[in-house]
Amino acid sequence: MIKNNKRRCTFFFIMSVLLFIFSGCGSSSEEAASSSDPEAIRESQISELENSDLIGNVDAYAAIQGVLAESAAPTPAKVFIIENDESVEEGAGEKYVYSPHYFDLPEELQAKSDAEMNVLVKLRSYYMETGTYSNEGIAYTRYVQITILDRAAGTIIHEETMIGSAPFSISEDQSAGYGYVPEYQVLEKILAYFGYSEE
């Protein structure tokens, strides 16, 4: 009877240890999987940004102006990017929000706080009427204005405007056609200024 109890205790002890080991391995593999999951990484980055004081200062950043004085960025550059919110109705005034391009910057370029941020990139996107079609439809071209400011110096250290592709052809029942600036090209322009280029 005593031997049977000892065997049972030993069996349960071994099973408990094995269960603990396997559950530990499972959770670590899940953590490893989530750490390499792009969506999980992006969610973590958004959470980190929302907990910083950068978000709360977007309106103040949007109001920053400067005299154009083309020059290199300060070293090390710690960058934050904002862009105009195109969902705001025309006539309601321009509104800026943080730009998703911020998350695509190399880690060493990303400012993590208001105190650290010394370079501000402002993106302003808009459409302009650039022609008409044979069915009297309107052709629009997209423009993206990139303004890079040295916050400490109070100067615009780089400014350029990207012009979208020619508006696409449209069918007879369409009233407008649009030319675009691909988002990846906007990011490439920003990175090129800071010395990052695609190999």
Q: Give the DSSP per-residue string, 41-80.
A: HHHHHHHHHHTSSTGGGHHHHHH---EE---PPPSS--EE
Q: Per-residue DSSP letters for 104-161?
A: GS-GGGB--STTT--EEEEEEEEEEEEEE-TTSPEEEEEEEEEEEEETTTTEEEEEEE
| Tens-digit pLDDT string for the chain (199 aa) | 444 444 554 545 555 544 544 444 444 444 444 457 878 877 877 888 888 899 999 999 999 999 999 999 999 999 999 999 988 766 667 899 999 999 999 999 999 999 999 999 999 999 999 999 989 899 999 999 999 999 999 999 999 999 999 898 888 889 999 999 999 999 999 999 999 986 5
How is residue 32 written in tokens? 């490893």
DSSP state, residue 89:
P
For the entire predicted model, the pTM comes to 0.76
In a domain, 119, yes or no: yes
Q: Is residue 121 included in any domain, yes or no?
A: yes
Q: Residue 88: which domain range?
A: 58-193
For the chain, what is the domain count? 1
Quickly count: other Cβ atoms within 10 Å of residue 50's Cβ: 11
Look at residue 86 and tell me if it is in a domain: yes
Has residue 2 been placed in a domain? no
